[in-house]
């Protein structure tokens, strides 16, 4: 689905297009969140052992976890803590960068899993927090790179809401996979650098008062110059200005180029 780009004018067609973008972003985010919940609820109801779907670093049997580990969560609390960040960040991504999202989300998903499999501690790594970290870093960095109004606004909102993710890429708790967080952050940074130019930036809206102000300023400057030229107030060219003082002539006291000052008056000592 190729969505129309965001434009500066709020016409009826643009409003419809923007509603379509919002619907696309919300439905895409809900589908992703629903997929995570469906897998977890099915495993819980049927008593499946989901450990086989996690990432086991440097174990060939753990390679499948690169694709399946984000669907696996260690507990209900773990799943709940990831639901809201995943929904908001994915919705922001799909709304602001629909073209880049097609490539950024798969890249973050796969690269973060590969990073965990290559360099993480020898343990079982599960959860979608690596993807949420990747989306957070992607939205923040791409907003700084593009520097348009929408990108900067979303970057500031994301950093305000989830800026604490910048600290969780470091080892803090024993049972938390900071390796997944760090790998996701690196993948998000790579995606932002690679796909920042895929979505066209919205043109800056120019208001009518800006044009009127420019016209009035130009008219005032033009009239001011004409008035100066008419009244002869424009200074002459430097070459036509007479020399007021010639350094080659000797200075004479009382002349037109030396001012004689009276000698200083002697006063008493300074008192403190």
Chain segment 146-189, per-residue pLDDT in tens: 999 999 999 999 999 999 999 999 998 888 999 999 999 999 99
Q: What pTM was computed for the model?
A: 0.73
- Convert 135-170 to b/e letters by CB count within 10 Å (16 or more is b): bbbbbbbbbeebebebbeebbeebbeebeebeebbe
Nearest residue to 55 (alpha-carbon basis) of 116, 132, 130: 116
In the predicted structure, residue 108 carries a pLDDT above the cut 90 = yes
User: Which whole number is the average pLDDT over 244-266?
Assistant: 57
Lowest mean pLDDT across 44-53, 109-118, 158-167, 259-268: 259-268
Nearest residue to 123 (alpha-carbon basis) of 187, 206, 179, 49: 179
pLDDT of residue 259: 56
Cβ–Cβ under 8 Å, residues 163 and 214: no
pLDDT of residue 242: 62
CA dist., res. 179 & res. 121, Å (int): 8
What does DSSP assign to residue 147? -
- Convert 194-233 to b/e letters by CB count within 10 Å (16 or more is b): ebbeebeeeeeeeeeeeeeeeeeeeeeeeeeeeeeeeeee
In the predicted structure, residue 272 carries a pLDDT above the cut 50 = no
pLDDT of residue 5: 58
Arithmetic mean of pLDDT over the chain:
82
pLDDT of residue 228: 52
pLDDT of residue 74: 86
Chain segment 5-49, per-residue pLDDT in tens: 555 555 677 778 888 999 999 999 999 999 999 999 998 888 888
Lowest mean pLDDT across 138-142, 183-187, 224-228, 259-263: 224-228
What does DSSP assign to residue 52? G
pLDDT of residue 270: 45
In the predicted structure, residue 132 carries a pLDDT above the cut 60 = yes
Position with higher pLDDT, 231 vs 61 = 61
CA 7 centroid distance within chain: 19
Percentage of the residues of the chain whose pLDDT score is greater than 90: 58
Sign of CA dihedral 90, 91, 93, 94: positive
In the predicted structure, residue 222 carries a pLDDT above the cut 70 = no
Chain segment 93-105, per-residue pLDDT in tens: 999 999 999 999 9
pLDDT of residue 173: 87
User: Which whole number is the average pLDDT over 86-113?
Assistant: 96
CA dist., res. 250 & res. 148, Å (int): 66
Per-residue confidence band for 231, with pLDDT thresholds at 50, 70 and 90: low
């Amino acid at each position: 689905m190729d969505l129309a780009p965001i434009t500066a004018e709020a016409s009826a067609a643009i409003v419809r297009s923007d509603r379509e973008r919002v619907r696309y972003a919300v439905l895409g985010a809900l589908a992703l969140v629903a997929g995570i919940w469906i897998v977890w609820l099915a495993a819980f109801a049927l008593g499946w052992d989901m450990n086989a779907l996690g990432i086991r670093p440097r174990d060939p049997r753990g390679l499948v976890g690169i694709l399946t580990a984000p669907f696996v969560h260690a507990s209900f609390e773990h799943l709940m803590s990831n639901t809201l960040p995943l929904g908001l960040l994915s919705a922001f991504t799909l709304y602001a960068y629909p073209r880049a999202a097609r490539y950024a989300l798969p890249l973050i998903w796969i690269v973060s899993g590969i990073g965990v499999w290559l360099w993480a501690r020898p343990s079982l790594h599960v959860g979608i927090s690596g993807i949420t970290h990747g989306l957070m870093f992607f939205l923040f960095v791409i907003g700084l790179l593009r520097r348009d109004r929408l990108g900067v606004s979303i970057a500031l909102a994301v950093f305000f809401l989830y800026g604490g993710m910048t600290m969780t890429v470091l080892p803090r708790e024993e049972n938390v996979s900071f390796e997944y967080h760090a790998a996701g952050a690196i993948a998000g940074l790579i995606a932002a650098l690679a796909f920042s130019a895929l979505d066209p930036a919205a043109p800056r809206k120019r208001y009518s008062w800006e044009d009127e102000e420019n016209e009035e300023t130009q008219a005032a400057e033009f009239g001011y110059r004409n008035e100066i030229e008419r009244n002869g107030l424009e200074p002459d060219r430097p070459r036509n200005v007479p020399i007021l003082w010639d350094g080659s002539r000797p200075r004479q006291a009382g002349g037109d180029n030396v001012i004689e000052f009276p000698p200083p008056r002697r006063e008493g000592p300074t008192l403190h």
